[in-house]
A and B are shown apart, each in its own frame.
Chain A
Amino acid sequence: KAGVTQTPRYLIKTRGQQVTLSCSPISGHRSVSWYQQTPGQGLQFLFEYFSETQRNKGNFPGRFSGRQFSNSRSEMNVSTLELGDSALYLCASSLAGDIKAFFGQGTRLTVV
């Protein structure tokens, strides 16, 4: 069974640009969550999607958004990139109602 797949693995963007990251959950998993990890703030919850609906949202500005498709694949978008958005972005998936989450290897975003 394939694990959680995140693409791309590495990305370099310029301040002011926007970026879209993709997450393919484990087959059959309907819940997808996104996290930002930085050395200073650690792992922070961004949002969770379940059956194409945002179910929870962390404390991030509106520049951070996401969506989930009918096949449970999810994308997150960051607009008007700032240097502080440089981070490892992690995606986690789980079965509906299951409290065990599986994480991908992340996308390393560098904003220059």
Chain B
Amino acid sequence: DAKTTQPNSMESNEEEPVHLPCNHSTISGTDYIHWYRQLPSQGPEYVIHGLTSNVNNRMASLAIAEDRKSSTLILHRATLRDAAVYYCILRYNNNDMRFGAGTRLTVKP
């Protein structure tokens, strides 16, 4: 299985943008890049996904490198409610998601 590498933790100030990086150098052409987040005492929550082009939704933006070996999840204005563990996952059209350790995001007021 293709693997992802993320920093263990990151900090941000409230209302500032946050860039969460993910490396996936062994990604295959058919792997989608997914991001999920897990708030305390909750199950993971879908954030965004993409294949080749950058993607935007109401929660975040996903910037994908041209060679697809890395991607960045962008939270445009972090709030305290965005404090969570963020997982970057490679996935091909099934529900067998191989989660890594994720990045624990701390948002400071």
Tell me the A residues contacting B by CB distance below 8 Å. 4, 31, 33, 35, 42-45, 48, 55-56, 58, 90, 92, 94, 97, 99-106
Interface residues on B, range: 20 to 34
Which of B16-24, B39-47, B64-72 is near enough to bind chain A? B39-47
8 A Cβ contacts from B35-54 to A: 41-46, 49
Report A-chain residues with C-beta under 8 Å of the C-beta of B43: 4, 90, 92, 103-106
Task: List 15 A-B pairs, Cβ < 8 Å.
Answer: A42-B99, A42-B100, A42-B101, A42-B102, A43-B87, A45-B99, A97-B93, A99-B91, A99-B94, A100-B46, A100-B49, A101-B46, A101-B95, A104-B43, A105-B41
- Shortest 8 CB-CB contacts between residues of A and residues of B: A103-B43, A43-B99, A33-B95, A56-B96, A48-B95, A103-B44, A90-B43, A100-B46
Cβ–Cβ contact A102 & B95, under 8 A:
no
Cβ–Cβ contact B95 & A56, under 8 A:
yes
Distance of B44 from chain A, by nearest CB (Å): 5
Instruction: Knowing that A42-B101, A103-B44, A105-B41 touch, tell me 18 more A-B residue pairs with CB under 8 angstroms.
Output: A33-B96, A33-B97, A42-B100, A43-B87, A45-B98, A48-B94, A55-B94, A56-B94, A90-B44, A94-B95, A97-B93, A99-B49, A99-B93, A99-B94, A101-B95, A102-B46, A103-B45, A106-B43
In the complex, what distance in Å separates the CA atom of A32 from the CA atom of B49? Answer: 20
Cβ–Cβ contact B96 & A99, under 8 A:
no
Distance of B91 from chain A, by nearest CB (Å): 6
Assuming A103-B44, A106-B43, is B99 touching A92 (CB within 8 A)? no
Report B-chain residues with C-beta under 8 Å of the C-beta of A102: 46
